[in-house]
């Protein structure tokens, strides 16, 4: 960490800062340069509160130099490969893994019909919400455990792995039993107790970017899961809230190459929740493949108007086939295969 002071040779300030670093954080520090304006802090600086140092009168700026996440950092390794099943590896640069299914699991028939629609296009991971984080308390909240059991039966019937959103740490045993990938939704990205709980799980986790989270905050949330001992974490860009009202959320496709540089974790894009309208999902899905996403998570439904959740953004059979044709073509141009 480097601390730059406003004035040269301010001996009492240098002393004040160095004492604070030593007493509060146990960090040694050295004054560097002829001007005696830069303090280099060594040792474990993870606990040093940058805001506190910056608030000291006479301090111009503080540069952490090292990023605050270590396990998630690209410096650790090049890529994490998550083996969901032996023929489905997420994070392999040759693969684009598509996860698809309904927004909410409304009934067994609806889930099976939607799973068949996904399976026909070779999808290996079925998505579906059993616990739904709805903006208002009167909206459909999901069928809970009953829906998780339906998910398991649908997965077995079509030989597909499953992904579903977990909202409470107490539900971990239930999810361990019935689903293959744990999804942390955007609204829970900073639910630290939940992150710690899935950190102890053996199941892969897909962590969605919070509605107003920076990429650093997303990576720090991933760090919680990794620090808990679960190495199988993938990130999901699903758009953030901006001043723009024409789209449901503002999708940052640019975060894909940036995350690729910052982390070894696989990167998934969710075009459905970002765009909020069926007719816009395909173009953005294709863009996600073009910028190098490792996978996509897409909401589909045989009859979107019957869905109890997110009807406006679900792909019916026609849009779904068109979307998969496009994804396959873009992947092929990049010498990748769609799983």
Footprint of ligand PEP on this chain (CB under 6 A)?
103, 129, 133, 165, 185-187, 208, 238, 270, 273
What is the per-residue DSSP string for 41-85? E-S--TT--HHHHHHSTTEEEEE--S-S-STTBTTT-S---EEEE
Question: Hey, which residues between 291 and 330 contact Mn ion (CB under 5 A)?
Answer: 310
Phi (first) and psi of residue 83, to 5 degrees: -90, 105
Give the integer Cα–Cα distance in Å for 290 and 90.
Answer: 17
165 binds, among ligand PEP, Mn ion, none (CB under 5 to 8 A by kind): ligand PEP
Nearer to ligand PEP, 3 or 293 (CB): 293
Residue number of the CB atom closest to ligand PEP? 185
208 binds, among Mn ion, ligand PEP, none (CB under 5 to 8 A by kind): ligand PEP
**Member of 103, 125, 206, 289 binding Mn ion (CB under 5 A):** 103
Asked if residue 118 lies in contact with residue 160, where contact means CB atoms within 8 angstroms, the answer is yes
Residue 238 is encoded by which pair of tokens? 């699903």
Nearer to Mn ion, 37 or 132 (CB): 132
19-28: b (≥16 Cβ within 10 Å) or e:
ebbeeebebe
Nearer to Mn ion, 223 or 310 (CB): 310
Residue number of the CB atom closest to Mn ion? 103
Angle subtended at Cα 250 by Cα 246 and Cα 252, rounded to the nearest 5 degrees: 150
Nearer to ligand PEP, 62 or 128 (CB): 128
- The residue with tokens 């816009």 is 280
Shortest Cβ distance from residue 70 to Mn ion (Å)? Answer: 33
Shortest Cβ distance from residue 78 to ligand PEP (Å)? Answer: 27
Contact footprint for Mn ion (CB under 5 A):
103, 310
């Amino acid at each position: 960490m480097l601390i730059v002071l406003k004035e040269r040779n301010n001996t009492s300030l240098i002393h004040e800062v160095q004492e604070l670093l030593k007493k509060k954080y146990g960090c040694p520090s050295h004054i560097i340069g002829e001007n005696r304006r830069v303090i280099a802090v060594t040792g474990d600086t993870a606990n040093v509160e940058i805001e506190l140092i910056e608030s000291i009168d006479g301090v111009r700026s503080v540069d952490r130099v090292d990023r605050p996440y270590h396990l998630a950092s690209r410096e650790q390794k090049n890529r994490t490969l998550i083996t969901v099943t032996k023929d489905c590896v997420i994070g392999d640069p040759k693969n684009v893994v598509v996860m698809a299914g309904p927004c909410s699991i409304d009934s067994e028939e609806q889930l099976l019909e939607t799973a068949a629609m996904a399976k026909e296009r070779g999808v290996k991971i079925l998505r579906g919400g059993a616990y739904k984080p709805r903006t208002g308390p009167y909206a459909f909240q999901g069928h809970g455990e009953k829906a998780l059991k339906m998910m398991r039966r649908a997965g077995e019937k079509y030989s597909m792995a499953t992904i579903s959103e977990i909202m409470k740490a107490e539900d971990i045993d239930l999810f361990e039993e019935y689903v293959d990938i744990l999804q942390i939704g955007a609204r829970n990205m900073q639910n630290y107790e939940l992150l710690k709980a899935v950190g102890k799980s053996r199941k892969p986790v897909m962590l969605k970017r919070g509605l107003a989270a920076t990429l650093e905050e997303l990576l720090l949330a991933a760090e919680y899961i990794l620090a808990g001992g679960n190495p199988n974490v993938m990130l999901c860009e699903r758009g953030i809230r901006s001043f723009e009202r024409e789209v449901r959320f503002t999708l940052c496709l640019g975060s894909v190459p940036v995350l690729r540089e910052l982390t070894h974790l696989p990167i998934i894009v969710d075009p459905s929740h970002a765009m909020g309208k069926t007719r816009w999902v395909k173009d953005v899905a294709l863009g996600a493949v073009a910028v190098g996403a490792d996978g996509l998570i897409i909401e589909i439904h045989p009859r979107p108007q019957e869905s109890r959740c997110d009807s406006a953004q679900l792909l019916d059979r026609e849009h779904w086939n068109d979307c998969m044709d496009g994804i396959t073509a873009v992947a092929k141009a990049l010498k990748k295969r769609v799983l």
